[in-house]
Amino acid sequence: MPTPANLWWSLISLLVLLGLWYLGASFADSRVLPGPLVVLSVLIEGVGSGEVPYHLAVTLARVAASFVLAMSIGVAVGIAMGRLLGLNRFLDSWLIFFLNLPALVTIILCYVWFGLIEVAAVLAVAINKIPNVVVTVREGARALDRDLDEMCRVYRLSGMARLRHVILPQLSPYLFASVRSGLALIWKIVLVVELLGRSNGIGFQLSVFFQMFDVANILAYSIAFIVVVQIIEWLGLRPLETALNRWRR
Amino acid sequence: MSSLQVNLRAKVFPGVAQAPPHHALASIKLTIKHGQFACITGPSGCGKTTLLNVLAGLDHDYDGEIHLPLISEHQQPVVGYVFQAPRLLPWRTVEQNLTLIKDRSASTADVGELLGLTGLTDFCHAYPERLSTGMQRRLALARAFVVEPDLLLLDEPFASLDEATAARLRLLLLEIWRRHSTTVIFVTHDLREAIQLGQRIIRLTGAPAKVDLDMPIPLNPAERLDTQVIEAWRTRILEVG
């Protein structure tokens, strides 16, 4: 949790940002850059009508599905590649291929092959994220402590017990790194997926507002999502991380 | 109730890159009776840990046969190993470090009793990194006993401790060993420690290492605490070498 001093600093820096925005908006044409107050009233109106919560929920559901899919496959493959030299040699070139495959290409191909359906959308996002998870977790799996590994073998810990009590705790910093970068990356890709082939969600809404040149609504939706991601960070990730790191001196 | 039988012909580490293969252990034949406390001594780097890793089943790449002792109720031999470093799970509490390991074996050991014996009852909810080195070593000792091992291996478990703490832990080890009557192999480079603890001293020397001395130490508990007795035995053993 942020300390009071940190909170004050965050508040001050946020107010400075708002001030700069306000100044910029008053110089620019109001349609190109509406001021904070205009955006706030648009946001309040959108929340009141139920539009913003609906599209936000749809996008969040896609983010959650892609995130769970990408993390579970990525962690499993990452651990396997970090532990098994042969598998790592075999899959390494695939990994480089998928790491460098542009997100847009994956999205287009998924829509072409599977149609404009929900599964294709979620799959396209997951495929974009999996290689990043694999790379991070593989580094962690390579650095697993051999001494503890021998201890587990002597005392015959089962595979599940080893995973839960020995391997995952060692991987937790790597897992948190990929969860954080994962949320940021995934929600951006979800918007592209929605823009290209879905008829709801924030990405779809943004494309509509783009056609209508409605910058105020574009900013209102972005701010709504950033607030939600911050809430996830503060209420979910930070407390979890603190709890998992209690053992450290 | 069976004895530990070691019939090792050779243990060679394959050469890595430009380095030649390393002949760690030569022919080693040993029979250690059930419940015996044997000490293995020898200069550091002579292959004592290598031998323990072979006995623990961590290293299968050797030429020879090993028969581990087995208590009749056990399906297969259970080994307890106290490594040179405590090797605890830092993210699990003192108590969890024991229960986790115990749950994996068919052991009926009393975790609370072992915590009491090792003086860790008050710290059972603490994390290992917050404990002193001596306490971490006591926990590693308790963990080795929590599986009720047929064979207990200890690899210089009290090295890097001050002498007073080490002496207390030696007494503790003897006390737990008497209660559990397991076969013990205790590796140390300190001859005094070996005489104080062991019913038998096996000395390894040379490269590749072989047994150059195998001597029973028929001392009673009181004599083992007597420094003059220990010094006399030490002189005797050094004269043999």
Q: DSSP class of residue B209?
A: B
Residue B217 is predicted with a pLDDT of 87
Helix, strand or coil for residue A201?
coil
Residue B19's alpha-carbon distances to B15, B47, B99, in angstroms, are 5, 18, 43
CA–CA gap between residue B38 and residue B197 (Å, rounded): 8
Quote the minimal CA–CA distance from A35 to chain B in Å. Answer: 50
Beta carbons of B105 and B77 less than 8 angstroms apart: no
Average pLDDT, chain A: 90
CA–CA gap between residue B226 and residue B188 (Å, rounded): 19
Mean pLDDT of B39-57: 88
pLDDT bin (cut points 50, 70, 90) of residue B241 is low
CA–CA gap between residue B62 and residue B132 (Å, rounded): 37
pLDDT, one tens digit per residue, over A28-75 is: 877 788 888 899 999 999 999 999 999 999 999 999 999 999 999 999
Mean pLDDT of A137-142: 93
User: Do the Cβ atoms of B100 and A165 come within 8 Å?
Assistant: yes
User: Do the Cβ atoms of A157 and B101 come within 8 Å?
Assistant: yes
pLDDT, one tens digit per residue, over A183-201 is: 888 988 999 999 998 899 9
Mean pLDDT of B35-49: 88
Quote the minimal CA–CA distance from B199 to chain A in Å. Answer: 25
Residue B163's alpha-carbon distances to B134, B176, B220, in angstroms, are 11, 20, 22
Q: Which of A101-105, A112-116, A181-185, B34-38 is predicted least confidently?
A: A181-185
**Domain architecture of chain B: domains with CATH:** 4-78+149-240 (3.40.50.300)
Mean pLDDT of B171-193: 88
> What residue type is B53 in one-letter code?
N
Mean pLDDT of B57-85: 84
Beta carbons of B53 and B13 less than 8 angstroms apart: no
State what percent of residues in chain B have pLDDT above 70. Answer: 97
Residue B76 is predicted with a pLDDT of 80
Global pTM?
0.81
The size of chain A, in residues, is 249
Quote the minimal CA–CA distance from A51 to chain B in Å. Answer: 45
Question: Which chain B residues are Cβ-neighbours of A244 within 8 angstroms?
Answer: 91
Give Dmax (Cα) for chain A: 72
Neighbours of B219 (CB within 10 A): 17
B47 sits in the region (left: phi over 0; alpha: psi -120 to 50; else beta) called: left
CA–CA gap between residue A68 and residue A47 (Å, rounded): 28
A114 Cβ partners below 8 Å, 6+ apart? A120, A123
Q: Which of A151, A156, A247 sits opposite B90 (nearest CB)?
A: A247
Mean pLDDT of B10-26: 83
Inter-chain Cβ pairs, chain A and chain B, closer than 8 A: 54
Q: Exposed, middle or buried: residue B190 (CB in 10 Å: 0-12, 13-18, 19+)?
A: middle
State what percent of residues in chain A have pLDDT above 70. Answer: 98
pLDDT, one tens digit per residue, over A199-243 is: 999 999 999 999 999 999 999 998 998 888 888 888 888 888 888
Does A146 touch chain B if contact means CB atoms closer than 8 Å? no
Beta carbons of A217 and A209 less than 8 angstroms apart: yes
Quote the minimal CA–CA distance from B92 to chain A in Å. Answer: 7
Per the structure block, which two tokens stand in for B25?
A: 């252990």
Of residues B35 and B180, more confidently modeled = B35
Examine the pLDDT at A1 and tell me if it is beyond 60. no
Residues of B with CB under 8 A from a CB of A: 56-58, 79-81, 83, 85, 87, 89-92, 100-101, 103-105, 127-130, 143, 147
User: Do the Cβ atoms of A150 and B105 come within 8 Å?
Assistant: no
Quote the minimal CA–CA distance from A172 to chain B in Å. Answer: 11
Of residues B108 and A191, more confidently modeled = A191
Examine the pLDDT at B71 and tell me if it is beyond 80. no
Does A246 touch chain B if contact means CB atoms closer than 8 Å? yes
Residue B219 is predicted with a pLDDT of 86
Give the orientation angle of helix A168-197 with respect to helix A118-142, to 10 degrees. 150
Q: In what order do the strands lie in the sheet with B79-82?
A: B79-82, B151-155, B183-187, B37-41, B200-205, B210-216
* Optimal mutation site among B87, B143, B147, interface A, most CBs of chain A within 10 A: B87
pLDDT bin (cut points 50, 70, 90) of residue B77 is confident
Does A3 touch chain B if contact means CB atoms closer than 8 Å? no
Domain residue ranges of chain A, discontinuous segments joined by +? 57-216
Q: Which of B56, B90, B129 sits opposite A154 (nearest CB)?
A: B56
| B144: nearest CA partner in chain A | A155
Q: Which of B87, B128, B129 sits opposite A151 (nearest CB)?
A: B87
Mean pLDDT of A106-133: 94
CATH homologous superfamily of A57-216 equals MetI-like (1.10.3720.10)
Neighbours of B162 (CB within 10 A): 10
Location of structure tokens 């983010």: A63
Does A156 touch chain B if contact means CB atoms closer than 8 Å? yes
pLDDT bin (cut points 50, 70, 90) of residue B42 is confident
Does A153 touch chain B if contact means CB atoms closer than 8 Å? yes
Quote the minimal CA–CA distance from B83 to chain A in Å. Answer: 8
| A145: nearest CA partner in chain B | B87
Question: Which chain A residues are Cβ-neighbours of B57 within 8 angstroms?
Answer: 153-154
Question: Which chain B residues are Cβ-neighbours of A161 within 8 angstroms?
Answer: 100, 103-104
Q: Which of A155-164, B32-41, B44-53, B103-112 is predicted least confidently?
A: B103-112
State what percent of residues in chain B have pLDDT above 90. Answer: 25
DSSP output for B72-131: TT-SS--EEEE-SS----TTS-HHHHHHHHHHTS-----HHHHHHHTT-GGGTTS-GGGS
Examine the pLDDT at B144 and tell me if it is beyond 80. yes
Residue B24 is predicted with a pLDDT of 83
B48 Cβ partners below 8 Å, 6+ apart? B40, B41, B42, B155, B187, B189, B204, B209
User: Do the Cβ atoms of B92 and A165 come within 8 Å?
Assistant: yes
User: Do the Cβ atoms of A165 and B130 come within 8 Å?
Assistant: no
Quote the minimal CA–CA distance from A145 to chain B in Å. Answer: 10
Residue A219 is predicted with a pLDDT of 92
DSSP output for B56-74: HTS----EEEEE----TT-
Examine the pLDDT at A120 and tell me if it is beyond 70. yes
Mean pLDDT of B15-28: 83
Residue B110 is predicted with a pLDDT of 84
Residue B176 is predicted with a pLDDT of 83
Does A166 touch chain B if contact means CB atoms closer than 8 Å? yes
